[in-house]
A and B are shown apart, each in its own frame.
Chain A
């Protein structure tokens, strides 16, 4: 150990005040000392320090000179760990009141939030800073949203109200395909209708403008010489046809001017997100409960080049289908981001465990891991699930990234949950054990240097 660090080690207990890190006043640094820092930016740092000042990570490393007047929080000895906070995609236990099946594109998950008291706080206690929620229901249930666990209850301020459109390829593939096929066909028809309307408007507008121009010229000419009479009369007779039916308000036919701005025909708000998807303006997230659903989705999608992500979902009844490896190559070839539960599901009707996360990762698929169960208990056992995956062959770093950086980026929160490095926001969690040790508890949750949760303090308050 370098001399400076050794010195610091001796000095630390003397410097650390009891009420260490409550809202550091500007300029004053706080130092967190732990056994391991999973920076997710290069190798993990053993026996390391994170110096936080003004909401940012000032320094991070193994051997640091303690800044003057810094407060120190030293948790070494228990295997304590600092990592970026958890980002939870598909925290669907936070939403209720499913609308059943059908085309319900206009709904947003954030409008269906159903928060039990303390639920968000418990998520925070578990180290979760961001939670994605899907609209409940089958078919096309709506659009997903993202909330922050420190956004206040009962109505937390959403980070993203309208993230992705959700398609459910769950249960009967035939019903799902029938619905989606129709939705896509209707959306294509709507787009075609709008294109035609726009074309007609453009034409009408152009004609009208030309006629106005001709009229003006006529007027000018007649003003100049007043000889040429025929052309002027003709121009006045042909009023341009407006593109929009019934939109013009009672002007005389000759005066009718096509609207200056194009007014698109109305599209069913439930269909609109599908239209936007087909126009490449949004991403669709498709949930699958079995590998066959994957194949049927590809069949439905055909050769359309559109943005979508895949959720290998927990079926509502029964366990996660453990045979997604059957379509592993196809998933890899699709090149889409894949969400799947952090568990080792059995092959169907057997007690033979499979490891889709490791297989998909090895096939080059970007994986995002979700809780092994679709409830708060599932979030409590998320790190246990990760430990299982890592023990059975998934790379540790991949596993941790798959519940932190990757889901955050997938939810557009890459600024909020970042790899830990100097200059990055001081947003991280501190556990009293290894990240993959299910017994370890989150001690601190920091966001931009501000302590959102401090277990020691909460226990003291109790």
Chain B
């Protein structure tokens, strides 16, 4: 809400767009010259132009406040997508004729949210997820309504694609769950033994390879017997270790383990992580937090312990990367708000309440979550080249009143609240009044004049798109 107030304060007049709210490098994003897309698009897309019945490959979200995550906030900009990818992001982006246009004026555009863990939204495990995927399942629809566009389930990262079963699986999340709790000394010993054997084997294997290279004929290949494949994968960086650890002791022991056996690690839980933030930071482990998951402090312990609402804020201050998940991994219309994936941002709002900056909070369910899942090159932020997975909210993402109005997955309009049988009736989206439409058209024409755009580019563009694309145009 503070953000909104700031925006209003900075905005000189409703017609003139406010300057960017943060991150000056945004300039780079809007580098494109006016209408660079138009001409090549016409040439390239000649068949599409010739047959207007064919759907345009373009989808544009215009006029919204774009939270790019990677590159700050654009007060009133356009995200142009083509063939499932984000093509352009900025305040001066031209929208090609025939593009599907989502008018996001007055709304906020975010990258699609990423759930590090989920259950019941997609079925199956690993490779089977694609063949089991149901794009029309209730839970996929609810996931989109909750702003999710990618979820990890059964070891695969799946896109919540609607209308199709193409390009569903983003990646296989090759996680190895390790048990390293202080409550099980035997389990700890066994794990260390396994890792030792794997490390020794890898060492011997490397020596053997080197000897072979050096031409030593009597080099003996090491015996692989009793060596755990998964442990080797972990030590070679081919898999990620997943730990469940909440209390200080367990967290510290995980830190020790990954110090002894360097590997990529994700710790789920971390309720007392704030008490050992420096150690965690040094270990390089990432965390998956649930801000409201509670463990009460033991007053008899002569050190900080128990859960803290400031947990995420403290970890953020120590530069620790984390994702946030709600208390339950399923999705449901029958749960308590913020407790399951239908209202993931509400769980995150509690981290904000504990002092986590809003942009860091957004990262925890977009780019940082994507990074933990190894899919940050595809999703998690709004930048050209990335998958066109976006959501448009009618208010601040972390405001309990906000609804996702539209969700776009792989450039396809996957969810429209107005058409949802579950949510359409709740505070229906107001249709723009005729006055608003006229104003938008006039604004668009004015913007064209201001920018000195003439010829095809100016004529071809959609009025709404023009209006939206004009935001900030006069300022530059």
Known: A299-B165, A326-B163. A292 touches B135 (CB 8 A): yes
Q: Is the CB of A177 within 8 A of B421?
A: no
B 326-342 to A, binary, CB cutoff 8 A, 1 in contact else 0: 00000000000000000
A window 160-214: CB within 8 A of B: 172-174, 177-178
Say yes or no for A291: interface residue by CB 8 A criterion.
yes
Most A CB atoms within 10 A — which of B131, B137, B165?
B131
Known: A292-B165, A323-B136, A326-B163. A347 touches B421 (CB 8 A): yes
Say yes or no for B8: interface residue by CB 8 A criterion.
no
- Provide the residues of chain A in CB contact with B135, threshold 8 Å: 292, 295
Say yes or no for B19: interface residue by CB 8 A criterion.
no
Q: Contacting B131 at CB < 8 Å: which of A174, A290, A326, A349? A: A174
- Provide the residues of chain A in CB contact with B137, threshold 8 Å: 292
Q: Contacting A296 at CB < 8 Å: which of B124, B131, B138, B422? A: B131
Residues of A within 8 A of B (CB-CB), count: 18
Q: Contacting B134 at CB < 8 Å: which of A290, A347, A349, A352? A: A290
Chain A nearest CB: distance from B212 CB in Å? 40
Q: Is the CB of A174 within 8 A of B421?
A: no
Q: Is the CB of B136 within 8 A of A292?
A: yes
Query: How far is A173 from B450 in the complex, measured between Cα atoms in Å?
Result: 56
Say yes or no for B200: interface residue by CB 8 A criterion.
no
Query: How far is A349 from B133 in the complex, measured between Cα atoms in Å?
Result: 18
Query: How far is A462 from B421 in the complex, measured between Cα atoms in Å?
Result: 53
Query: How far is A296 from B129 in the complex, measured between Cα atoms in Å?
Result: 12
- Provide the residues of chain A in CB contact with B164, threshold 8 Å: 295
Q: Is the CB of A173 within 8 A of B421?
A: no
Q: Per DSSP, are chain A's interface residues mostly helix, strand or loop, or mixed?
A: helix
Say yes or no for A348: interface residue by CB 8 A criterion.
yes
Say yes or no for A18: interface residue by CB 8 A criterion.
no
Most B CB atoms within 10 A — which of A292, A299, A348, A352?
A292
Chain A nearest CB: distance from B121 CB in Å? 13
Chain A nearest CB: distance from B246 CB in Å? 35
Q: Is the CB of A291 within 8 A of B136?
A: yes
Q: Is the CB of A292 within 8 A of B421?
A: no
B window 123-160: CB within 8 A of A: 123-124, 128, 131-138
Q: Is the CB of B136 within 8 A of A174?
A: no
B window 143-189: CB within 8 A of A: 163-165
Chain B interface size band reads: 10 to 19
Say yes or no for A350: interface residue by CB 8 A criterion.
yes
Q: Which residue of B lies closest to A326 (CB)?
A: B136
Q: Which residue of A lies closest to B164 (CB)?
A: A295
- Provide the residues of chain B in CB contact with A348, threshold 8 Å: 136, 138
- Provide the residues of chain B in CB contact with A174, threshold 8 Å: 123-124, 128, 131-132
B window 415-457: CB within 8 A of A: 421-422
Query: How far is A178 from B127 in the complex, measured between Cα atoms in Å?
Result: 12
Query: How far is A347 from B128 in the complex, measured between Cα atoms in Å?
Result: 27
B 398-422 to A, binary, CB cutoff 8 A, 1 in contact else 0: 0000000000000000000000011
Q: Is the CB of A352 within 8 A of B136?
A: no
Q: Contacting A178 at CB < 8 Å: which of B131, B133, B138? A: B131
- Provide the residues of chain A in CB contact with B138, threshold 8 Å: 348-349
A-B contacts besides A173-B134, A174-B132, A347-B421, 19 pairs, CB < 8 Å = A172-B123, A172-B132, A173-B131, A173-B132, A173-B133, A174-B123, A174-B124, A174-B131, A291-B136, A292-B136, A292-B165, A295-B135, A295-B165, A299-B165, A326-B136, A326-B163, A348-B138, A350-B421, A350-B422
11 A–B contacts from the bound complex (CB under 8 Å): A172-B123, A173-B134, A174-B131, A174-B132, A292-B133, A292-B135, A292-B165, A295-B164, A295-B165, A296-B131, A348-B136
The 6 closest A-B pairs by CB, nearest first: A292-B134, A174-B131, A174-B132, A295-B165, A350-B421, A291-B136
